[in-house]
A and B are shown apart, each in its own frame.
Chain A
């Protein structure tokens, strides 16, 4: 229900950003700024970045030897950090 309402709000928001006919250039640019700002990754999108990821496997192994912690390695296709394959 909440997801559905949020979806409607976003659609409403997207519609609200449509340039009205005959709008002034300054309004156009403000509309673009607003869209770009609203479309940025959210806290939810970025939870993955709350993890302190090592740069690469050799770095992780070096840190593991120093700290006595096991290495957690996630091997995968594509680029999980970008959400792109």
Chain B
């Protein structure tokens, strides 16, 4: 992640990659990326690792490789620690440009959002979640960073998730007839509450367990066929490896608007302003994503 916060956020590196290379990031299969990495992609990663060892061009699991344009075989590599110093990565890229006499051009793939899934089932409700430590929000323009030392770390940028609720799931959020308040079904609430945690290393989300009845709903008003539902509660997140230890505690507040005529959720907002994860304090914001925002963005892996 230091590579993302450092060189991969540097204007000069971004320009070199876009103008002279075909960049691709490739998460390898691990407990954290179950169902994210395709077999074909994993086979390619394994091939690159194997060939780099055979060719003695350098090897590491968290590593940057360069592949020959004509064959796709690795010809050079750099370890992530060294690559996290921007000047090292710039020199590494410059050598490859010289070697292949690359003519600078436009990016071959249009830059775009890397967070949303490329395809969602019809009539799904897509939620976007942003989490970061309190005190780490840096608004305003990017300040130039030093290029001669390792300056980035993974806590410097927000963590994001996109959560897809299929129709059968979000339909459970419809206000029950003649009820003024109710418990949000745990299976639906868990779909997004498992992501209420700050950036962490070596964390497996499938190990998260949400407390029963974490989120309660109540009708606030109905106007022109739209019912506003308040959400409130307290999240207590535990992990299967430490079933008696509280991993995260967070007060929850939010709302959603339910169109009782079209029978769909038209807006969804949920937040925690002061979650606790051990000694850390963090905030989370969840919002519904409009279909046009999804179609306007590049598909992520």
Contacts and interface: CB of A to CB of B under 8 A. Distances in A.
Contact of A76 (B28, B70, B111, B132): B28
Interface in B196-234: 199-203, 205, 220-221, 228, 230
Interface residues of B, number: 103
A65 B283 contact: no
Interface string A68-81: 11111111111111
Contacts of B93: 72
A84 B161 contact: yes
A14 B274 contact: yes
**Quick one: which of A19, A25, A54, A84 has the most chain B CB within 10 A?**
A84
Contacts of A63: 22, 108-109
Nearest to B45: A75
> How many residues of A sit at the interface, in one of the four size bands?
35 or more
B20 A79 contact: no
The 5 closest A-B pairs by CB, nearest first: A52-B107, A47-B9, A39-B285, A81-B114, A71-B67
**Quick one: which of A36, A65, A69 has the most chain B CB within 10 A?**
A69
Nearest to B128: A40
Interface in A27-85: 28-29, 32-33, 35-36, 38-45, 47-61, 63-65, 67-85
Interface string B158-181: 111100000000000000000000
Nearest to B108: A63
Interface of A: 2-3, 6-7, 10-11, 14, 17-19, 25, 28-29, 32-33, 35-36, 38-45, 47-61, 63-65, 67-85
Nearest to A84: B159
A69 B108 contact: yes
A30 to B, nearest CB: 11
B21 interface: yes
A19 B271 CA distance: 13
A51 B14 contact: yes
Contacts of A76: 3, 25-28, 61-62, 80
Contact of B142 (A3, A36, A43): A43
B8 interface: yes
